[in-house]
Amino acid sequence: MKKLICTIIAKLEYIDYALVIVLWAIGAVLTIVGFPWITLGIVAMHATELVTIGLKAGKRGGEGMLYSIAMCMMFGFTWWVPLKMKTNQFDF
């Protein structure tokens, strides 16, 4: 099941990116009108992913540290799952 989910995420990588950008835009609009919780939730999740998985996956995938930070903070698991799939970092 884990392999199937990771494969789907990797195959739909650019659609996932578009959906995350839409989520960020919705969070920004809601933050402007006084409801910052979606944006704060995204930042908290992505910061946790960055520290626990993102930097390590980026380094093993041959990406630079600043690139890994930017991509993980922007896209989270929709960035590092396809990267790990492409570089065979998963042990299924």
Q: Within a 10 A sphere around the Cβ of 32, how many other Cβ atoms?
A: 10
In a domain, 26, yes or no: yes
In a domain, 33, yes or no: yes
Quick: pLDDT tens for 36-53.
999 999 999 999 999 999
Q: How many domains does the chain have?
A: 1
Q: What gap in Å lies between CA 20 and CA 78, rounded to an integer?
A: 8
In a domain, 92, yes or no: no
Token pair in block for residue 31: 């933050």
User: What letter represents residue 83's amino acid?
Assistant: L
Quick: pLDDT tens for 7-28.
898 889 999 999 999 999 999 9
In a domain, 29, yes or no: yes
Q: What gap in Å lies between CA 65 and CA 71, rounded to an integer?
A: 10
Write down the pTM of the prediction: 0.86
Q: Which domain, by its residues, includes 47?
A: 2-86
